[in-house]
Amino acid sequence: MPRVPLLCAALACCLYGAAVPAAEPESLGQIREAAQDYVSSHLGGDAQASASPLDARLHMPACGVPLEASGPAPNAGNAWSVAVHCAGPAVWTLYVPVRASQHRNVLVLTRSLAPGTPVPADALTMQERDVSVLSYGYLSRPEDAVGKLLRHPVAAGATLTPDALTAPASIRRGQQVTLLSQSGGFVVRADGKALSDGASGDRIRAENLDSHRIVEGLVRDTDTVEVGL
């Protein structure tokens, strides 16, 4: 057999038969786990995070250092987009959708109540809900709701939210009040009349009974309105 073909065959074996196998890609499971751990760490120990399945055709180069994850919390809802990043030697970033859930006991109404109705204790119960989807918040203690007034109608079975409640009026329209002004070490008091209802911390209008001037002030207690000098 001629020497040239033999030499070519031997060279081909060296170039192709002994080729170095391709490096293993980064585990897709590890990428999903990094995204899930990031969301869970932000929401607390009672949170559950589930990353969407990744396309099996993805072949991200193996990362020589621990994977990093980052991303802002969603403004509302429970859908996260987590950036899983490899800092080297192969540098890449993959965005992983993650859905979170966080179940806690919250206050729920057992019957429908109309606006302006004081919330009675026997209309409340505790139920487990996914609070990650409660964008308006929730209450978990009956004492935060009992006796407060509803701002709008709430149906039976609905989660009670903080913005649905307001404190009962501590000052009533037409009630005689003390108008209190403070500046530095000076304190001035005057007799006044409330022109609207108001709970502690509300701003209401009142009339100064001496000057008949209409002023606006902050309800401090059941008979005091603090106004500016």
Predicted pLDDT at 81: 95
Nearest CA-CA partner of 136 in 216, 81, 90, 75? 75
Predicted pLDDT at 47: 85
Amino acid at residue number 78 = N
Predicted pLDDT at 221: 87
Give CATH 2.30.30.760 domain extents, the chain. 176-227
Q: Which CATH architecture has domain 176-227?
A: Roll (2.30)
pTM for this structure? 0.58
Predicted pLDDT at 44: 77
Predicted pLDDT at 59: 93
Give CATH 3.90.1210.10 domain extents, the chain. 103-166
Predicted pLDDT at 8: 35
Predicted pLDDT at 13: 36
Question: 103-166 maps to which CATH number?
Answer: 3.90.1210.10
Amino acid at residue number 10 = A
36 C-beta neighbours (distance < 10 Å), count? 22
Output the average pLDDT for the chain.
87
Predicted pLDDT at 23: 62
Q: Are 65 and 92 in contact (CB under 8 A)?
A: no
Cα–Cα separations (whole angstroms), residue 126 to 44, 110, 138, 148, 214: 21, 10, 11, 17, 46
pLDDT under 50: residue ranges of the chain: 1-22
